[in-house]
Amino acid sequence: MAGQLVLLRHGQSQWNLENRFTGWVDVDLTDTGRDEARRAGTLLAAEGIRFDVAFTSVLRRAIGTLWLAMEEMEQSWVDVHRHWRLNERHYGALQGLNKAEMAEKHGEEQVHIWRRSYATPPPAMDPEDPGHPRHDPRYARLDARTLPATESLQLTLQRVLPYWHDAIAPRLKAGDNVLIAAHGNSLRALVKYLDGIADDEITGLNIPTGVPLRYRLDDELNAVESDYLGDA
């Protein structure tokens, strides 16, 4: 039997609070976000799930959330793998900008398309922009051509899936319980894949911060059922 899978979006970040497009910018959790992460750990502890392995991104809001939740579960010893393929969707030239101000400038509809459509990427970031991932030491070992300057949800799913197939799925198939702490859009991409949600229906899906989403999977890793723990 496949192991259980739990998806956890990080708690509130400083830029969630400030309503700014975040993407690959390495913004920290707020105190509220840290409380959400601990609460997620309490909920998981109450379910009595013992994890065999955990996966997260290379962004501190997800890493911190995982760390706090695992500490709360008294499972800080569990093996953790960090990978850039679990990062948030890259928000291109929108990163750092205020979402409400962009809606005033470009219209609500355009901003909604950038935020929630499946296939339309936001405007790309200039490769010379110091915020481009090719200038960030954490990605220095990667082929610069694989580093995004913007991503739609579709492109996000395309870069999450190789890691899912190579690193995560084999552990689930071996019966291991797996915790993934990641981001609003990298997790939306994964949920779209697991639940087989149509391209035009994914627009309506939002994942709340700090609420564990548990999946029961069959041997082929098809989703049998899923539920949010606690009061989503």
Restricting to residues 118-147, which ones interact with ligand 2PG according to CB under 6 A? none
Beta strands in the chain (DSSP E): 5-9, 53-56, 79-82, 178-182, 213-217, 223-228
10 is catalytic: yes
Q: Is the separation of the CB atoms in 156 and 191 below 8 Å?
A: no
Binding of ligand 2PG by 177 (CB under 6 A): no
Q: How far is the CB of 69 from ligand 2PG (least distance, A)?
A: 18
Backbone dihedral angles phi then psi of residue 66, each to the nearest 5 degrees: -60, -45
Bridge partner residues of 82 (DSSP): 56
Amino acid sitting at position 56: T
**CA–CA gap between residue 69 and residue 39 (Å, rounded):** 7
Please state, in angstroms and rounded to a whole number, the distance separating the CA atoms of residues 44 and 214.
Answer: 10
CB of 21 to ligand 2PG, least distance (A): 5
Figure out which of the listed residues 2, 3, 21, 169 binds ligand 2PG, where binding follows CB under 6 A: 21
Q: Which is nearer to ligand 2PG, 33 or 184 (CB)?
A: 184
Tell me if residue 165 is catalytic. Answer: no
What is each CA distance from 144 to 75, 154, 162, 185, in whole angstroms?
36, 20, 17, 22
Q: In angstroms, what is the minimal distance from the CB of 228 to ligand 2PG?
A: 17
Stretch that binds ligand 2PG, among 19-27, 59-67, 73-81, 167-175 (CB under 6 A): 19-27
Binds ligand 2PG by CB under 6 A, chosen from 51, 55, 84, 91:
91
Cα-based torsion angle of the residue sequence 145, 147, 153, 157 in order, rounded to the nearest 10 degrees:
80
Under rule CB under 6 A, residue 23 binds ligand 2PG: yes
Does 84 engage in binding with ligand 2PG (CB under 6 A)? no
3-state secondary structure of 184: helix
Q: 148 or 184, CB closer to ligand 2PG?
A: 184
Could you say whether residue 185 binds ligand 2PG (CB under 6 A)? Answer: yes
Residue 144 to residue 84: CA distance in whole angstroms: 13
| Residue 115, marked binder | yes
CA distance 60 to 107: 32
Residues that bind ligand 2PG (CB under 6 A): 16, 21-23, 88, 91, 115, 184-185
Q: Which residues are tagged catalytic?
A: 10, 88
> What residues form the annotated binding site for substrate?
9-16, 22-23, 61, 88-91, 99, 115-116, 184-185
